[in-house]
Amino acid sequence: MRLFYFSFKIVVCLWVNVSYAQVVSFKYLIEQTPVVKVPVYKYSPGDIIKIHMSFAKAETDSNLRKNIQAIRNGIIDRIDLVYTRFKLNDSFDQKKLNTQRLKKLYTILPEIFDNTTAEWNIIEQQNCPDESSSKLLYHGFVFYLTPPSEISAKYFLSDSIRDIIGASSEVDFILKSIARGTEKVDEKYIPYRKKAIKRKILDTTYSGKFYPNTNILYKVGVMFKTPGNKDREAEYDVKTRYIKDTVMVRNDYHIGKFNFAMAGLRDSSLPMIFDRNKTWSNMVVVEDVTGSMYTFTTQMFVWRRMQIDRGKINKFVFFNDGDEHPDGPPGKTGGIYCIESDSINKVEKLAFRAMEKGSGGQVPEGDIEAILKAQDQFRTVTDIILIADNFARVRDLQLLSLVKKPIHIIVCGVTNRKVLFDYIKIAQATNGSIHTSEKDYNNIGDALSKGVVEIGKLNYMSVKGKLTLVK
């Protein structure tokens, strides 16, 4: 029985008129990728797309449109470059041919070389004693893809837990997950908290004069300097002023202990990252609430409910694919919802609205548009926290120069310790930071200006202002 009906993102070709820095260089791939020697290449299980090349040449089939589109319509897990060991002559240079094949692939799919999350393999087939047997074996590239609709099940949520929870929508999953994971309210929970307000005060000051005791004298404006024998009423000047005060307000939610496994969540990375970075204070949280992010959205809901002092983080921007008209022009996609409130009820209500308004779309997201909205809406904040999807490229990086505040990026769904290059580029340009479940990478812009920086399992260096992978 199909229990979930999520509006997962659909990928279409978005790479026209985009300039690629080629972060993954040909030299890097040839020198850093070990050659795996096998008798004959065997395809691994999964969704496979091939780009075949001729024996001993860097030539492809004439009609690749269908294959190219299929590659762009999925999320690339792995790319194998496959060839045979047999040489027509001793002077043949296999590394040179592999480089030529990579260059040919670049002319077809340049965005592949701006992808730092895909795994590359170079496979040499050895069961080929002569030219005729070699030509029978496969030569070229094999792409292993994960469809967007399978990302959640593959990386974030097991089918058994999903069946147990029995949720019928993203919102239903979040509510049921929170209910299942909540063990008990913390005994130290404070039901009320202090809230700063402005209080109106009426100041009265004695003027030094006294009113007459008869209406006749009062009407003509006669005033006295002494109270007299009949105790005249003193005159006071009344002025309005405002003072800062505190009042006690009730916390609408609180979770003291939470079991993430019982909730159907595979990790608790978001709460861990926020707890590691307690110095974050004057900030706004920009959160991707599209379909593939629902388990991390749940984590953020839980973390908010666990906080007693919500005044520290009370500004949020939620964004989807663009409401009823997804994937509009860069900077004009929409589907962005802002709120400043200490009330969990109000924050969750707006987050649910943003989720439900989303109608799916392409995998790349309009992160920069949402960041710019936060920057404009909350001008006094010093930092912006972006909760981003490591499986979704940023579709509006051309707007990055408009971002004027440091962006601290919590990258969700990092596998094999590889962070999507787009987020590293944002952190570099704004001298922000990258945060994974394992580690915080701070002041990336400054660090890259001084040399090689390790992020996850990859090393980056800035060459003439452009990032590239290095050993």
Alpha-carbon torsion (47, 53, 59, 64), positive or negative = negative
Q: Which residue has the higher pLDDT, 158 or 409?
A: 409
Q: Give pLDDT, residue 4.
A: 37
- Strands laid side by side in the 383-389 sheet: 336-340, 315-319, 283-288, 383-389, 407-412, 433-435, 440-441
For residue 272, is pLDDT > 80?
yes
Q: What is the pLDDT of residues 161-205, one digit of tens each?
A: 455 566 677 788 788 888 888 876 666 666 677 888 888 887 777
Q: Give pLDDT, residue 18.
A: 41
Q: Give pLDDT, residue 308.
A: 66
Measured distance CA(14)–CA(362) in Å, rounded: 8
Q: Report the candidate in 3, 93, 342 with the shortest Cα–Cα distance to residue 194.
A: 342
Amino acid found at 253: Y
pTM: 0.73
Return the exposure string of 24-47: e unless at least 16 CB atoms fall within 10 Å of the residue's CB, then b.
bbbebbbeeeeeeeeeebeeeeee
Q: What is the pLDDT of residues 85-117, one digit of tens each?
A: 998 888 899 999 999 999 999 999 998 898 888
Residues above pLDDT 70, as percent of the chain: 86
- Residue 191 region, left (φ>0) first, then alpha (ψ -120 to 50), else beta? alpha
Written as six digits, the tokens of 448 are 């890259």
According to CATH, the topology of domain 26-146 is: 60s Ribosomal Protein L30; Chain: A; (3.30.1330)
104 C-beta neighbours (distance < 10 Å), count: 17
